[in-house]
Structures are given as structure tokens and as C-alpha cells.
Amino acid sequence: MADLLNVNINDFMAKIIAKNPGESEFHQAVQEVAESLLPYIEEHPKYKHAKILERISEPERIIIFRVPWVDDNGEIHINRGYRIEMNSAIGPFKGGLRFHPTVNLGILKFLAFEQVFKNSLTTLPMGGGKGGSDFDPKGKSDNEVMRFCQSFMTELQRHVGPDTDVPAGDIGVGGREIGYMFGQYKRIRNEFTGVLTGKGLEWGGSVIRPEATGYGAVYFAEEMLKTRNEEIKGKTAVVSGSGNVSQYATEKLIVLGAKVVTLSDSSGYVFDPDGIDREKLDFVFELKNIRRGRIKEYAEHYGVKYFEGQTPWNIPCDVAFPCATQNEINESDAKTLCRNGCTAVSEGANMPSTPEAVEVFIGSKILYGPGKAANAGGVAVSGLEMAQNSMRLPWFREEVDQRLKQIMVNIHETCVKYGSDGSDFVNYVKGANIGGFIKVADAMLAQGIV
Ligand code: NDP
């Protein structure tokens, strides 16, 4: 009993680290949540006695499997596939699949852990999961990607299903990959169900799903700015990445009257001081989604500067949207952003700021929207896609966009409720962690020791 009543962060993290050695991203994600939650749990002993924090940090199930496939030259390749089924207290496991050479167990466990709180914040009935593979789709032909996806789903299909676990896209997994995996699932299981989200519109997808994460991150920024009587219109925005989330964050920023001056990929970033307009964004859509080229070509095409091997955080801006990957903003980047006048950061990516960078943002009292709140729009519309699949009835664009906007407004309200300290400053990290925790924790209490 003594240790139950004295859970401190160091003891708790020592156990997490010992149990999950070498998984630094997972440690980072758990530590951030534990720091927010431990004081709250102290005040609510029912969670402490039931060891909810300890249980929520342990995946319900992890599946690791071999993914063999044959390239266009007949050579055999062997990748590793994963699915982390983190928590199903409030609904089927739900979360994306990432195909990227850096994928490992620790990264997917951090993503699955974050997903539990994010999905709860949406208010929709979705548990948390994540999966993927160290497969790199870059430079592969469509046929190679198809063969890989078919092999991946041949194993994964045993573990997923519309009421069990519903994967979606993430880095390296877009409409093409979802299509190949859905086709293989349908072929093996002989059923047409909502086993994946992010499907094409003609075969069970939802309008606004591709746009949802990027749009949602901008809606969240709008809500944060409103608390200071400001708006997106007229703001200069720095966006990183040039994939799905970046593209649609940029699209919504343009529509709302902001000037987006950067985009990037893992090779470098482009700086367009005149701003990326609709026509230039269409070039990016074609470059990234069809030709699958590098962002450098934007600089060559429009005669703007390209910075090889660098990130865009030294470009002065009012608002920043990190939309590429984890830990892409370090302490020095955060200081540079604040020094240059950035007043709001809305994270399209998952955990793009290091703990030191988060400390700088919170210490500077800027509007800092962490990924698990700011990028929840993607999974929210995935939840709406599941609802439409169950009803076998697609909704209209306006309806889905309106619901997305309302969900982002609600998430913002939840963050304000649990993240305010009485002053006019909102700690959105604390707000998102506590707000996301309560529903899952109460469901776990109700369901007994499972
Ligand atoms: P995409 O694969 O469409 O795009 C990823 C972008 O980030 C690309 O421009 C890619 O560049 C860049 N990138 C990837 N890895 C790195 C790296 N190590 N260093 C620098 N740049 C990198 O993925 P998404 O847009 O879907 O995802 C982006 C982020 O948003 C991820 O953190 C993801 O977890 C998060 N997210 C996505 C959601 C979704 O609905 N898709 C939902 C919620 C969060 P390159 O092409 O050179 O690799």
C-alpha cells in the first residue's frame, strides 16, 4: 500500500524504463503524460488504488510479424510488421499504420500511447492502437508497394476487424496503401467492412478524411488564437513537412487568409517569402502525391530558396505548424521561434517538439497546442468514417466538416477546462492529458482488473 500512496515520477519512470529498455520515444511520451497526471491522480485516489496509470502504460497486446515480399527484379525482401493494441477500454483499437525505415517498437508504442488519449479527447468511442513496418515506400514501384501491402495484410488480417481494431494511414501510408491493404483483407476474409479508414470515396471512405488532420490543426489554432482575440487571417505561418497533414494544413491556412512561407521534407525546406498560394499548392499536391518527388523541385520551379538538410524554424512567423515527424523541434528551435515572434504552435505531427522545446513554449506562455489535441481531427473523421460504414450511408462534405470543426472546438474546451490554473494562461499539455485520461480511466475502473 505504501508505494501506492507514494507514486512519484522518478520511481514510476524507472519502472517504465526497466520494462521497456531502449524505447526512448515511448519513455518520452509516458513521462510527459505522467507529469501531468500524477498530481491529478493524487487528488483522485480511486485511480491510484486501481493502478490505472501503470495499466494504461502497458499495451493490451503487441503483435510482431514477418513481412516477406518480392521486388520487381525477383529479389526477396524481409520487413518486420507490428501492431500495438494499446487500450480498448472505450472502443475498438484505432490508430494509423506507419511505413518508414525508422519504424521500431518504441516509436510505435509512443504513437499508440498518445493515440489512447487523443481518441478519448474526440469524444468518439475509439480505443488506441498503432502499427506499421520498417518498409520504405520511397523509390518503390506501385507493384512493389502492392506486393508489400498484400503480404503485410495477409498476417495483419487475423488481428483486425471493424469491431476489433481499425487501422488507418500515417507516414508512408496514404490512399494507395490503404487501397492495397483493403483489397487483400476483403479477398482473404470475403467481407466488405470498415476494417480500415482512409478508404477511397467510391469504396467506403468519408469525405474530408484526407483533409481532416491538417484542417483540424488549423481549427485548433483558430480556437487558441480566439482566447487572445486574434485570428488566423493575416498571420505568417511556417509549416514543416509536405505530406498529407502539411498539404491540408496549408490549404486551410490559405483559405483563412494566412501566408504560408515554408514546406519541407526529410531532405530540406523551401522558403517562399511571397507565400504559397492555391496554384503553388496544387503543384505540391502533384509533386508529392503523383510524381512522388522532392520538395527541392518546388524551389527550382518557383525560383525560391531551398535549404538542404535544414528545418524551417528559423524563419520568422506568427504561427508554426510542425507537420512532419517526432522531435523535429528542439530547444534551440523553440527559442528561435519565440524570439522571432511566434505566438502559437499547433502540432499536426505527433510529438514533434522535444520535452525541452515544450518547456520553452510553456515557459514563454505562447499558445502551444500539443499533437494529441491539435491533430485529433484525423482520427475524429476516421471515427465518422466508421459510423458511416456501420450505417452504410455516406454523409455530405458540409456535414462532416461541420462535425470536425465542432469536435476541435470541444477538444479545445476540454483543454481549457483541465489546463487552466486560474490565470488567463492555458497549459494545453496538462489539459489534453487530463481531459483524455478521465474517460478511459473511468471505463477501466468500470470494467474491473483487465
Ligand atoms: P506523410 O508520409 O504524408 O508525410 C510525412 C512528411 O514528413 C513528408 O514530407 C516527409 O518527408 C516528412 N518526414 C517524415 N519523416 C521525417 C523525418 N524523419 N525528418 C524530416 N521529415 C520527415 O505523413 P503524414 O502527413 O500523414 O504524417 C505527418 C505527421 O502527422 C506524423 O507525425 C504523423 O504521425 C502525424 N499524424 C498524421 C495523421 C494522418 O491522418 N495522416 C493523423 C495524426 C497525426 P519525406 O517524404 O522526405 O519522408
- The pLDDT tens digits of the residues spanning 124-177 come to 999 999 999 999 999 999 999 999 999 999 999 999 999 999 999 999 999 999
Rounded mean pLDDT of 380-387?
98
Catalytic residue among 94, 109, 130, 372: 130
Same domain, 155 and 250: no
The DSSP code sequence of 47-105 is HHHTTHHHHHTS-SEEEEEEEEEE-TTS-EEEEEEEEEEEE-SSSSEEEEEEE-TT--H
Q: Per mean pLDDT, which range of 6-20, 79-93, 202-216 is the poorest?
A: 6-20
| Residue where a domain terminates, one of 194, 224, 256 | 194
Whether residue 214 has pLDDT greater than 70 = yes
Does a structural domain hold residue 413? Answer: no
Question: How many angstroms separate the first and last alpha carbons of the chain?
Answer: 20
Rounded mean pLDDT of 233-252?
98
Same domain, 247 and 370: yes
Give the integer Cα–Cα distance in Å for 30 and 430.
13
The number of folded domains in the chain is 3
- H/E stretch holding 321 reads strand 319-321
- Name the residue at shortest CA distance from atom 22 of ligand 1: 266
Rounded mean pLDDT of 217-239?
98
Pairing of strands 344-346, 367-369: parallel
Predicted local distance difference test score (pLDDT) of residue 111: 98
Same domain, 221 and 362: yes
Whether residue 86 has pLDDT greater than 80 = yes
| Residue 357 CB less than 6 A away from ligand 1 | no
Q: Which residue has the higher pLDDT, 7 or 317?
A: 317
Same domain, 50 and 32: yes
**Cell output for 40:** 491529478
Predicted local distance difference test score (pLDDT) of residue 1: 39
* Residues of the chain above pLDDT 70, percent: 98
**Cell output for 375:** 491533430
Between the CA of residue 77 and those of 97, 153, 401, what are the distances in Å? 20, 16, 41
Same domain, 257 and 359: yes
Establish whether 130 is a catalytic residue. yes
Rounded mean pLDDT of 255-264?
98
- Tens of pLDDT, residues 4-60: 445 689 999 999 999 999 999 999 999 999 999 999 999 999 999 999 999 999 999
Predicted local distance difference test score (pLDDT) of residue 8: 87
Predicted local distance difference test score (pLDDT) of residue 4: 44
- Tens of pLDDT, residues 401-443: 999 999 999 999 999 999 998 888 999 999 999 999 999 999 9
Domain extent at residue 154: 61-194
Predicted local distance difference test score (pLDDT) of residue 421: 86
Same domain, 226 and 151: no
| Residue 349 CB less than 6 A away from ligand 1 | yes
Same domain, 287 and 365: yes
Rounded mean pLDDT of 330-344?
98
Same domain, 185 and 222: no
Mean pLDDT score across all residues of the chain: 97
Please report the atom of ligand 1 found closest to the CA of residue 111.
34
Give the integer Cα–Cα distance in Å for 202 and 142.
20
Predicted local distance difference test score (pLDDT) of residue 368: 98
Rounded mean pLDDT of 274-297?
97
Does a structural domain hold residue 259? Answer: yes
Predicted local distance difference test score (pLDDT) of residue 3: 46
| Residue where a domain terminates, one of 348, 374, 400 | 374
Please report the atom of ligand 1 found closest to the CA of residue 326.
32
Predicted local distance difference test score (pLDDT) of residue 406: 98
Predicted local distance difference test score (pLDDT) of residue 213: 98
Predicted local distance difference test score (pLDDT) of residue 422: 85
Predicted local distance difference test score (pLDDT) of residue 290: 94
Predicted local distance difference test score (pLDDT) of residue 7: 63
Predicted local distance difference test score (pLDDT) of residue 354: 98
Strand partners, 66: 80
Same domain, 125 and 182: yes
The CA 421 to ligand 1 mean position distance, Å, reads: 33
- H/E stretch holding 120 reads helix 105-121
Does a structural domain hold residue 384? Answer: no
CATH code, 115: 3.40.50.10860
| Residue 373 CB less than 6 A away from ligand 1 | no
Same domain, 262 and 358: yes
